[in-house]
């Protein structure tokens, strides 16, 4: 454990270096690249059959799995152990805080610590999207779906990230969680939106 921590610290002046280091530890099965939505990240992975620890990042992800189809991963409060079958392919679009609720049509706190089929959120529209994407969607195709929904929703909540930053929160997800804990409703409801 000590060697692992020392190696991470030696290679980790920033998050990118940490991801590079872990990528090497995982045998190169996980890759990230910028997406066509500001602040979003496309990622791909191929399951090795062993659980993988996913660290909380306050983001919502649109996921496609070769075994499970289209899913949504909500923001996690704790690390999540993800299990994949050997060879299971994943393509994901990690949306920055404030964007996911506009894309999925539900507040982020309703998805906290959950993985749900996209169909549970979009109904028949999810089936139409799955059919259009086919059996091996690209990251660009996932991005196009999310960008279309984001445009239809009028864009992300512009207030949340600015308020979170001004009040000392690391991101909007943490601010939203604290407001929900204190007021019993998300900030948008509290402000009458």
Asked if residue 83 is part of any domain, the answer here is yes
Asked if residue 29 is part of any domain, the answer here is no
Name the residue range of residue 59's domain. Answer: 35-156
DSSP H stretches of helix in 71-167? 100-104, 118-122, 124-133, 139-152, 159-166
Asked if 75 and 94 touch (Cβ cutoff 8 Å), the reply is no
Measured CA to CA, the distance from residue 128 to residue 122 in angstroms comes to 10
Measured CA to CA, the distance from residue 169 to residue 163 in angstroms comes to 9
Measured CA to CA, the distance from residue 123 to residue 29 in angstroms comes to 32
**pTM assigned to the model:** 0.70
Asked if residue 73 is part of any domain, the answer here is yes
The per-residue pLDDT for 5 is: 41
Q: CA triplet 91, 97, 98: central angle to 5 degrees? A: 115
The per-residue pLDDT for 9 is: 40
Per-residue pLDDT of the chain (193 residues; tens, 9 = 90+): 444 444 444 443 445 545 544 444 444 478 999 999 999 999 999 988 888 888 888 899 999 999 999 999 999 988 888 888 888 999 999 998 889 999 999 988 899 999 999 999 999 999 999 999 999 999 999 999 999 999 998 888 666 666 666 667 777 777 777 877 777 887 777 666 5
Asked if residue 170 is part of any domain, the answer here is no
Separation of first and last alpha carbons in the chain: 48
Measured CA to CA, the distance from residue 82 to residue 45 in angstroms comes to 12
Asked if residue 106 is part of any domain, the answer here is yes
Number of domains in the chain: 1
Asked if 108 and 96 touch (Cβ cutoff 8 Å), the reply is no
Q: Report the largest interatomic distance among the alpha carbons of the chain, rounded to a whole angstrom.
A: 51
The per-residue pLDDT for 7 is: 42
The per-residue pLDDT for 2 is: 41
The per-residue pLDDT for 187 is: 77
Asked if residue 113 is part of any domain, the answer here is yes
From the list 163, 152, 167, 153, the residue with the least C-alpha distance to 187 is: 163
The per-residue pLDDT for 159 is: 64
Asked if residue 146 is part of any domain, the answer here is yes
The per-residue pLDDT for 25 is: 46
Asked if residue 43 is part of any domain, the answer here is yes
């Amino acid at each position: 454990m000590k060697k692992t921590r020392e190696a991470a610290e030696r290679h980790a002046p920033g998050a990118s270096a940490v991801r590079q280091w872990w990528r090497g530890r995982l045998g190169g099965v996980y890759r990230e690249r910028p997406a066509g939505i500001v602040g979003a990240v496309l990622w791909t992975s191929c399951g090795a059959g062993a659980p993988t620890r996913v660290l909380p990042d306050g983001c919502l992800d649109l996921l496609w799995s070769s075994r499970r189809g289209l899913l949504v991963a909500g923001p996690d409060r704790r690390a999540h152990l993800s299990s994949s079958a050997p060879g299971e392919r994943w393509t994901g679009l990690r949306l920055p805080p404030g964007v996911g609720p506009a894309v999925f049509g539900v507040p982020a706190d309703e998805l906290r610590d959950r993985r749900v089929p996209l169909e549970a959120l979009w109904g028949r529209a999810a089936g139409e999207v799955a059919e259009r994407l086919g059996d091996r969607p690209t990251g660009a195709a996932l991005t196009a779906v999310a960008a279309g929904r984001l445009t239809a929703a009028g864009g992300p909540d512009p207030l949340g990230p600015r308020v979170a930053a001004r009040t000392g929160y690391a991101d909007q997800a943490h601010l939203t969680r604290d407001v929900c804990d204190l007021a019993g409703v998300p900030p948008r409801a509290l402000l009458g939106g």
